[in-house]
Amino acid sequence: MENGAAREGGDPSGFLSEIIGAPVVVKLNSGVIYKGELQSVDGYMNIALEKTEEFVDGVKRRAYGDAFIRGNNVMYIAAED
């Protein structure tokens, strides 16, 4: 950022390509949280997750091997630290 160049992963598409394959937290507008490995995302923020765990009010409810989340429900995608 010092030389005025955009930082790696700075803009949304750069960030997404950087976190593909990484463990992520996806929060929906309903408040439900999905944790899993990010398999892919598209421009609608449709998301494919692997090894998915579902949390409702912080309590684990279900697990899915593979899950597709429709993008309109997504509030944010966080890279798990």
Residues near other proteins (CB under 8 A) are 1, 6-7, 9-16, 25, 29, 45, 71-72, 74-79, 81
Taking a C-beta distance cutoff of 8 angstroms, is the pair 19, 31 a contact?
Answer: no
**Of residues 27 and 51, the one with the C-beta less far from other proteins:** 27
C-alpha 61: how far from chain center = 18
C-beta closer to other proteins: residue 68 or 76: 76
Residue 63 or 78 having the CB closest to other proteins: 78
Tokens of 78: 């966080």
SS3 29: coil
- Phi, psi at residue 78, to the nearest 5°? -115, 135
- CB of residue 75 vs other proteins: minimum separation in angstroms? 6
> CB of residue 15 vs other proteins: minimum separation in angstroms?
5
